[in-house]
Amino acid sequence: MSDRTPDRVALLALPALVYMVIVFAIPVMVLIGRSFFGPSGLSVTPYIDFLSDGFNWRVIFNTLRTAALTTLVCLVIGYPTALALSWSKGFVQAIMLVAIILPLSVGVIVKAFAWQIVLRRDGIVASLLMATGVWDEPKLLLFTETGLVLGAANIFLPFMILPIYSVLKLIDPSLQHAAATLGAPPVYRFFRLSLPLAASGIISGCSIVFSLATSMYVIPSLLIGDRYQTLPTLTARAFLLMRNERLGSTTATILLFLTIAIVMLTAWLVRRREVQT
């Protein structure tokens, strides 16, 4: 009887499985299929064409660079926030959680327009930097990579904070005390205790944000425009504007595999380091 229990429990995941197969797995297979099957049968010509163009390599580089920077900004801002969230209690924690989750209900387009107001040359950020003397004259933030990264990080921040928080809140606070009583200074505790313990949360947060950031389309369209092409904007244009499904499938497939490869490789490297130390 007990042998069958796991099977029954697995059945609970069936609706999700069916749903994902229909709306995700099958379309992705079709997409990948289309990139390999042209009018003249199976071929990798679209890949060769795409990858033999230097400009497209720059597009791939842009995509990964922006995603990596966005992930980094999210991590730097998100980790302390998650820490504060895990330390806070009761009402303060509830307010913090609402403040983190509620912005998810604001549409990306609204946020992009808000960023336009915040980042423009007479906007809040520039005024602040001028007032504090960091800047002598207003500099361009909008429609630059910096603006794009800041905007994207703002939108994806909850996806970094929440996984890290969910791990941090499970860590026994007396471990920090124990480390301190062993003579370990704060910086040492951070790198040898806090970070390794939070590693699984950080890996998932980074994977989610990186995946979202490599595949974002609306955000770069609004915050940087078509002068900074990424794989998703190229893909969208291939489908929507040029009606070239094969090109679009090719770029989408390249994006998919690059993202999966980088996320898995990073997770593997971190885990391996963790085991060694």
Interaction site with another protein (CB under 8 A): 55, 58, 113, 116-117, 120-122, 140, 142-145, 172, 174-175, 177-186, 188-189, 192-193, 196-197, 221-222, 224-229, 236-238, 240-244, 247, 274
Q: How far is CA 94 from CA 73, 101, 202, in A?
A: 24, 10, 22
Residue 132 CB, nearest distance to another protein (Å)? Answer: 21
Dihedral, CA of residue 54, residue 56, residue 59 and residue 63, to nearest 10: -120
Residue 4 CB, nearest distance to another protein (Å)? Answer: 28
Residue 175 CB, nearest distance to another protein (Å)? Answer: 5
**Distance (Å, rounded) from C-alpha 46 to C-alpha 252?**
12
Please say which residue, 73 or 247, places its beta carbon nearer to another protein: 247
Please say which residue, 26 or 242, places its beta carbon nearer to another protein: 242
- Residue found by looking up tokens 């040492």 in the block: 188
Please say which residue, 84 or 197, places its beta carbon nearer to another protein: 197
Q: Are strands 41-42 and 37-38 parallel, antiparallel or unpaired?
A: antiparallel
Residue 208 CB, nearest distance to another protein (Å)? Answer: 22
Residue 143 CB, nearest distance to another protein (Å)? Answer: 4
Q: How far is CA 242 from CA 101, 106, 238, 246, in A?
A: 37, 31, 5, 11
Please say which residue, 18 or 178, places its beta carbon nearer to another protein: 178
Residue 34 CB, nearest distance to another protein (Å)? Answer: 14
Please say which residue, 15 or 185, places its beta carbon nearer to another protein: 185
Please say which residue, 46 or 158, places its beta carbon nearer to another protein: 46
Residue 145 CB, nearest distance to another protein (Å)? Answer: 7
